[in-house]
Amino acid sequence: DTGVSQDPRHKITKRGQNVTFRCDPISEHNRLYWYRQTLGQGPEFLTYFQNEAQLEKSRLLSDRFSAERPKGSFSTLEIQRTEQGDSAMYLCASSHTGAARGYTFGSGTRLTVV
Amino acid sequence: TQLLEQSPQFLSIQEGENLTVYCNSSSVFSSLQWYRQEPGEGPVLLVTVVTGGEVKKLKRLTFQFGDARKDSSLHITAAQPGDTGLYLCAGVSNSNSGYALNFGKGTSLLVTP
């Protein structure tokens, strides 16, 4: 297993455009998480899935954000009508049931909205 | 959301020096994790502490979980340039909101030769 993969690594988009990011977790992990990290901050929780069910969403996840994990494997995070404030590193992580055993993070997708 | 405060925010030291960084909260955590993050990469798990008063060692790194499970510290002995990075603590609480980790803002460490 090659760990958690995220694609693309970098994305530059114009304000108002839609973007979609993909995350492929470690295959035996049933939990998948999305976090957002801005400069000088720790990762901020966005949402998480157990298998294909989205169990929690943060207040940070506005109506413009949507995440899916259709078959309980890979996940996508879509941002519609991007704004400059959406510029950040979007991190995906996976874990076994229960975060207490630790997350494995991907390398992230760096989004820049111009 | 439990607030985790890390201190110091920035630390610049010379190779060979010792240092301690702190992670504090007013909330009790069922476990606490430390991660290290390098620029442009995701955080990498260093250790998980579960029991109040627990001490874990990872080579030159010593992690301690407070007796009340509200705070933790990371001590690095004889720091090396390879220790440079952002050190993040993250807490797990068994709330109804699930098991998502809450992260502190991190301590940015620079070790110069």
Structure confidence at residue B95 as a pLDDT band (50, 70, 90): low
d(CA B17, CA B62): 15
Mean pLDDT of A91-97: 89
> Mean pLDDT, chain B, as a whole number?
91
Contacts of B102 in chain A (CB under 8 A): 45
What 3-state class would DSSP assign to A76?
strand
Judged against a pLDDT cut of 50, whether residue A48 lies above it is answered with yes
**Would the pLDDT of B36 be above 70?**
yes
**Contact (Cβ atoms closer than 8 angstroms) between residue A112 and residue A87:** yes
Per-residue tokens: B82: 């390879």
Bridge partners of residue B20, in order along the sequence:
B75
| Region A25-46 average pLDDT | 92
| Lookup: tokens for B54 | 């627990």
pLDDT of amino acid B1? 52
- Angstrom CA distances, B40 to A51, A62, A72, B50, stand at 28, 25, 27, 29
pLDDT class of A87 with cuts at 50, 70, 90:
very high
Q: Does B100 sit within 8 Å of A107, measured CB to CB? A: no
Is it the case that residue B101 has pLDDT exceeding 90? no
Nearest by CB to B42, which of A42, A91, A98?
A: A91
> Would you call A100 and B101 a contact, using CB atoms and an 8 Å cutoff?
no
What's the pLDDT band for A72 if we cut at 50, 70, 90?
confident
Q: How far is B16 from chain A (nearest CA, A)?
A: 26
B103: pLDDT strictly greater than 50: yes
For A88, nearest residue in chain B (alpha carbons): B40
Q: Is the pLDDT of residue A2 over 50?
A: yes
3-state secondary structure of A101: helix
For residue A11, give both structure tokens: 């994305």
Q: Looking at residue B96, what is its pLDDT?
A: 45
pLDDT at residue B67 above 80?
A: yes
pLDDT value of residue A97: 73
Q: Does residue A58 surpass a pLDDT of 50? A: yes
